[in-house]
Chains A and B, each alone.
Chain A
Amino acid sequence: MSAQLLLFQVLNGLGIGMIYFLLSVGLTLIFGLMRFVNFAHGAFYLVAAYLAFAITQATGSFWWALLIAPIAVGLLALVVERILLRHTYKMAHEVQILITFGVALFAQEAVIFAFGPQAQNVPMPAALSGIVFLGPYVYPAYRLAVVGCVAVIAILLWIVVERTKLGATLRAGSENTEMVSLLGINVDRVFMITFALGGALAGLAGVLAAPIRGVEPFMSAEALGIAFVVVVVGGLGTLSGALLGGLLIGFVQSIMSTLWPQGAQLMIYAAMAIVILTRPAGLMGRA
């Protein structure tokens, strides 16, 4: 591999990694605070992607989809949490996994019922459908915009988590929920907000990914798999871990696409295995 191609694959890996970060950050927030294993995370990504498809079809504008779909999915997550999931917080992880897996299957079947089993296209916004030149290589303008958008979201999330009262509550809650509760903070409400935020972030990832990958009813499984890998690599419950994990997986996948194409996907899981063996709590996780 030439140095030029290597450099491009690193840049490409950065783009992939930022998308993976967005995909996994909601999952890590939910687990970090609530110690809740959310197998429905991919379902929120799926539903948002299909909402993006429907809204773009109806309005002819991707921007409306970008505005409406994450909020709608955040509200959907809130409803699911209120009606179903909050009753499982004190139950074993196995129960949570089963129930959220059921929610994911329901969402998948609902999407097939509503839109059919075929894949669909979400056109890129016209203003971002071109390419930009990076030396001898080209990079899609839309992906560049997604990288910028996710970078802004990462900064905003960092500010919220590290510099606001809500963030302090979230961090304290992730350390000791009972103590936070004794201090008079309504933990139930914090859980609800966190779950809705996690769902909205998964929804945002679904909307942004739709023009890159199209939409199809089984896309949630891949998204969930990647999100879990990123969270495990970065460390469960840490924002910086999700970013680092996403970027690492993006770099591995992109560079291995040239070095050992048939093993690129395998190397994602090999990277995860190496991290688990050397740092069981993840790169940024606390043991």
Chain B
Amino acid sequence: MKRRTFIQGMAATPFALAAPRAVSTASADAAPLDIAAVYSLSGTFANVGALMNDGSKWAFEHYGDVLGRKLNYVLVDDRGDAGEAVRRVQELMTQNNVKHVIGCTNSAIGLAVQKEVFARGGVYINQAGADEVTGKDCNRASFRWPVASYSAVNATVRPLIEQFPNAKRWYTITGQYVFGDSLLTNCKALFKEKGVEHVGNSYHSLSDREYSGYIATALAASPDVLAICNFGNQTLDVVRQAISYGVKRNAKILAIWSTGLDQYQALGPENCEGVYFGCNFWHGVDSADGRTIGDIVKQKTGNVPNYLQACGFAVAQVLIEGIRKANSVEPAAVISALEGMTYEGPTGTETIRKEDHQVIKPYYLMLGKAKSAMKDANDFADVISATKAFLPPDQTGCKMT
């Protein structure tokens, strides 16, 4: 019984994460289990990849072994290149017989790797944000921990529209790639549904660092809300530059997808105040697993966990607990075990939806607070709402293969 930390009900106790070590049955004779972790440790999103990599590594250290086999962390640095990620994963799966893969730093990489892992009979737990991951490009091998862009938009834009019915004019600034486009598409659909005017959108490339021209264009459209459809450092730059151009005087700023604490720290309280952020994880939301991750991160860094660390931890955790539940490392058995699994995750009780392999969990809308209102150095924002907003399975476009 103790092996199964995912038995429904039992998982809600703090023992859920303590159990794996306590019941460790590692045998000196069993061969280590190689698990590949795909992260970008250089390139545009390297700051994201490095922290996710930390989270995943710490999960491996925390669990130590699974089914008597030592967990062996095989890092794949894709250098921000989806092609490189696929080549390296292909190499590991064909030459080293690796069957278990976790991680990705952006959606383009996640989508590419999930096709590859599926084609080679493995199992893949990732944190890509684009809808396609559990939508039209879904497959049986792949599972996603964070919410999809549909959920992020509906858990942030929708409550803001409802909270501020007079904010009728929305402008978007969008990173032109899979994930940015995915957020924008969902925004447009929601604007249409709610009768909100989309007064303009500025696409920008992934290599942009100067956004003043886009912000000037946005200001010329006199929006009530400026929504940012992107993630990573570019989101920070847009927020920072929008504030310096006085956008907050007449409009609200919403970063639909943020990575939470690390980005608030990077912006500083003076740039967070009054800005709305969407976020997958917040250390201030209490949960058993969240406390376990908090203890680990505190021990490693002396600080509280941020989303990237929690997310890296979560994808590793899902895979390991899936293996435990399956009582087998065979991908087919693990996949079957993961489908419909309920467990205690970083945001509380989380469930993996069988139909599209999406983890059902809340997404937070947060509002940055003034420096004077911060209770401690990490108290940058208040949680305004926590919403589980997911497309019904029959509308995701996922045809499980």
Interface residues of A (CB under 8 A from B): 2, 4-5, 8-9, 12-13, 15-16, 112, 117-121, 123-124, 129, 131, 137-140, 142-143, 212-214, 216-219, 222, 225, 253-258, 261-262, 264-266
Contacts and interface: CB of A to CB of B under 8 A. Distances in A.
B220 A261 contact: no
Given A140-B244, A264-B204, A214 B237 contact: yes
A222 B207 contact: yes
B210 A253 contact: yes
B244 A119 contact: no
B51 A262 contact: no
Contacts of B267: 121, 214
B22 interface: no
B244 A5 contact: no
Given A142-B244, A257-B214, A262-B176, 14 more contacts: A16-B210, A117-B51, A118-B47, A118-B265, A119-B263, A120-B265, A121-B266, A121-B268, A138-B245, A214-B236, A222-B209, A261-B203, A261-B214, A264-B205
A254 B202 CA distance: 12
Contacts of B83: none
Contacts of A264: 204-205, 208, 213-214
Interface of B: 42-44, 46-47, 50-51, 176, 202-205, 207-210, 212-214, 216-217, 219-220, 233, 236-237, 240-241, 244-246, 249, 262-263, 265-268, 270-271
A218 B244 contact: no
A143 B244 contact: yes
Contacts of A265: 204-205, 207-208
19 contacts: A16-B210, A118-B265, A119-B233, A121-B240, A121-B265, A121-B266, A121-B268, A123-B268, A123-B270, A137-B216, A139-B245, A140-B245, A143-B212, A213-B240, A214-B233, A257-B213, A258-B213, A261-B214, A265-B204
By CB atoms of chain A within 10 A, which of B47, B210, B241 has the most? B210
A120 B237 CA distance: 11
Given A5-B217, A16-B210, A138-B246, A117 B240 contact: no
Contact of B217 (A143, A213, A218, A257): A257
A218 B268 CA distance: 19
A121 B271 contact: yes
Contacts of B203: 261-262
A123 B268 CA distance: 8
Contacts of A214: 233, 236-237, 240, 266-267
Contacts of A129: 270
By CB atoms of chain B within 10 A, which of A8, A118, A216 has the most? A118
Nearest to A252: B213
Contacts of B266: 118-121, 214, 216
Contacts of A13: 213
Contacts of B245: 131, 138-140
A158 B209 CA distance: 29
Nearest to A128: B244
A257 B237 contact: no
Nearest to B263: A119
Contact of B47 (A119, A222, A254, A258): A119
B46 A262 contact: no
B362 to A, nearest CB: 25
B168 to A, nearest CB: 20
Contacts of A118: 47, 51, 262, 265-266
Given A142-B244, A214-B237, A16 B212 contact: yes
Contacts of A262: 176, 203-205
B359 to A, nearest CB: 25
Contacts of A218: 42-44, 46-47
A57 to B, nearest CB: 11
A131 B246 contact: yes
